[in-house]
Amino acid sequence: MPEPDAAVMNRVRTLIDETGSERTQLLEVLHKVQAEFQHIPRAAAEAIEQAMNVPVADTYGVVTFYDLLTERPVGRSVLRICEDVPCCLHGSEELAREAEQRLGPEGQPSADGAVSWTRCACLGLCDRAPAALYEEKPLAPLHHQDIASIGDRRA
């Protein structure tokens, strides 16, 4: 069930108070909001505008630039599978298809909100292709068994 806007705004104001309201702290605030709400809700962008003097459009400019920030809710744990050429050559597309079978459609959280998966650009782990991140930690090389384990933990 989505949080009411007032509750989101109050919580984001608290996160800003804890982090700092200078514009240079925007990214840190956004990471905290993402961790708590699994996305950046509109109400959060409005709270940021009020408390940090950063326009909503600027906040969403940052959100759309960084792969780790999302406008739509994702799972509490996210599997990111690299789809750039070196990882593709080592089987990442096959692993992505397996993720779709075991974890559901790309970008959509499981029914319990526990997990989602997505393709992403190079993770800087090319020497360990096919590479992935899970809960923001490297999972490289990614194996079929890793995906099966993530699916089992969700069930």
Q: Does 45 bind ligand FES (CB under 6 A)?
A: no
**Which span (43-51, 55-63, 67-75, 120-128) binds ligand FES, by CB under 6 A?**
120-128
Q: Does 131 bind ligand FES (CB under 6 A)?
A: yes
Q: Does 123 bind ligand FES (CB under 6 A)?
A: yes
Q: Does 68 bind ligand FES (CB under 6 A)?
A: no
Q: Which of 9, 69, 82, 99 binds ligand FES (CB under 6 A)?
A: 82
Q: Which residues pair with 134 in a beta bridge?
A: 79, 137
Q: Does 74 bind ligand FES (CB under 6 A)?
A: no
Q: Residue 87: exposed, middle, or buried by beta-carbon count in 10 A (0-12, 13-18, 19+)?
A: buried
Task: Count the residues of the shown chain that bind ligand FES, applying the rule CB under 6 A.
Answer: 10
Report, in Å, the least distance between residue 141 CB and ligand FES. Answer: 10
Q: Does 86 bind ligand FES (CB under 6 A)?
A: yes
Q: Does 125 bind ligand FES (CB under 6 A)?
A: yes
Say how many C-beta atoms besides its own lie within 10 A of residue 33's C-beta: 25
Six-digit token string for 29 = 């605030």
Q: Does 79 bind ligand FES (CB under 6 A)?
A: no
**Backbone phi, psi, residue 139, to 5°:** -130, 85
Q: Does 139 bind ligand FES (CB under 6 A)?
A: no
Q: Which residues pair with 133 in a beta bridge?
A: 80, 138
Q: Does 28 bind ligand FES (CB under 6 A)?
A: no
- Binding residues for ligand FES, rule: CB under 6 A, are 82, 84, 86-87, 122-123, 125-126, 129, 131
